[in-house]
Amino acid sequence: MQRDDDDPWMHPHENLITGEVLEKSIRFLAGCAILAPSGHNTQPWLFASGPNWLDVIADRTRALAVVDPDDRELTISCGAAVGTFETAARRLSLQTSVARCPDPGFPDHLAQITVEDGPPPDELEVTMFDAIARRRTDRSAYFLEELPDGLKCDCRKIADPLGVNVEFFSDGSGLKTIADLVAEGDRIQFEDPDFRHELASWVHSSRRGSRDGMSGASFGLPDILAPAARFVIRTFDLGENIAAADAKKILAGSPTLALLSSTSDTVEDWLDTGRALARMLLLLTARGFTASYLNQPIEIATLRSELRQAAGATTQPQILLRIGRSERPPPPTMRRALSDVMITT
Ligand SMILES: Cc1cc2nc3c(=O)[nH]c(=O)nc-3n(C[C@H](O)[C@H](O)[C@H](O)COP(=O)(O)O)c2cc1C
């Protein structure tokens, strides 16, 4: 059940052997976890495994000091790795339990996932596993097709038990106000040279052979245009590499927005937001939908409370997604090799 370090996206099925010893299964599942989304594709996680557990440790050397000074999105990203691991474990008929922040003396130790035998996966669990290698952050403009009510309901069923609230916006004044806040956040961030510098340092040409960050290819651009990608990362690409940075364009290419929020703003809330995010994205992928992020108004403190008001939420906004169907998925982004993120003792 060894995953191929050279091609982390190789379809997990190709490596899947059920009934292996638990320790080998955990390594396979860690290979699935590295396919999780992360802010700027920083992949800010390290793993250590034991006979029946995986420790998830924050790699704060990969923090984004300007856009994410409290490591909130870094922790959500690690939570997404946990959620991907949990989803993959069900495919191997394994059950997981997650201890969050298990070691108060070592705050970087974000989670310990313990694994034991469980019932065989149901059909949905199998399709969600299959979605792990197909999930992408897709920054193209989407068809104007609303998310079906049944799918919205299923997303909530995933998030609710983790204490994460999901609010959908497809029309009405709330949607317009949220789009205005995204555009305002985008303007504020791009006026900040530190923000631009930090973003640019994670967008590089794929020719550099880098295994993290984002390349022009992630945006369907030739390498030479990689720098142009910086301007579509924050919103999305309307074609001809034009970023949808104003509210009208954001509305025109985003059939549904989804706001994930949590009751408070603790490390545990951030982790659980990431777990819910990963599973929701896998469900959407399994059903033929895709998503990208419009987090600007959450990343700027003053806009975050305005967003909360606009969304009529009493909880803390954590992630803002646009969701829809797109013409064709972008190519996968790179990942660090499993051997680079596994700590061996
Ligand atoms: C917590 C978090 C925040 C993110 N913020 C943004 C964002 O503001 N803009 C964006 O375009 N993508 C954002 N992303 C998506 C990442 O850039 C993307 O996951 C990464 O480049 C890897 O690509 P993939 O999701 O296609 O595997 C975010 C992802 C996570 C988990």
Rounded Cα distance between 213 and 125, Å, is 30
How far, in Å, are 30, 50, 135, 287, 319 from residue 130 at the CA level?
A: 16, 26, 9, 11, 24
Those residues of the chain that have pLDDT short of 70 are 1-6, 11-20, 205-208, 217-231, 345
Q: Model-level pTM? A: 0.94
Is 41 near ligand 1, meaning CB less than 6 Å away? yes
Range 186-193, long-range pairs (CB < 8 A, 24+ positions) = 186/234, 186/235, 186/245, 186/296, 187/245, 188/296, 188/300, 188/303, 189/67, 189/234, 189/296, 189/299, 189/300, 190/234, 192/66
**Does the beta carbon of 322 lie inside 6 Å of ligand 1?**
no
- Cβ of 234 closer than 6 Å to ligand 1, yes or no, is yes
Ligand 1 centre distance from Cα of residue 294 (Å): 10
Span 125-146, pLDDT tens digits:
999 999 999 999 999 889 988 8
Check if the beta carbon of residue 115 is closer than 8 Å to that of residue 96.
yes
- Each domain of the chain, given as residue ranges in start order, spans 12-135, 149-324
Which atom of ligand 1 is nearest the CA belonging to 80? 31
Ligand 1 atom with the shortest distance to the CA of 299: 8
Residue whose Cα lies nearest atom 15 of ligand 1: it is: 39
Nearest residue (CA) to ligand 1, atom 21: 41
Ranges of H-type helices in 102-243? 123-131, 149-159, 173-191, 193-200, 226-233
pLDDT value at residue 97: 98
Q: Which CATH class is domain 12-135?
A: alpha beta
- Residue 204 confidence (pLDDT): 76
| Rounded Cα gap, residues 166 and 155, in angstroms | 8
Q: What CATH topology corresponds to 149-324? A: NADH Oxidase (3.40.109)
Q: Do domains 12-135 and 149-324 have the same CATH topology?
A: yes
Is the CB of 271 inside a 6 Å radius of any atom of ligand 1?
Answer: no
The response to whether residue 295 sits with its C-beta less than 6 Å from ligand 1 reads: yes
CA dihedral 32, 57, 76, 29 (to 10 degrees): 10
pLDDT at 12: 58
- Report the pLDDT value the prediction gives residue 236, as an integer from 0 to 100: 80
Does the CB atom of residue 185 touch ligand 1 within 6 A?
no
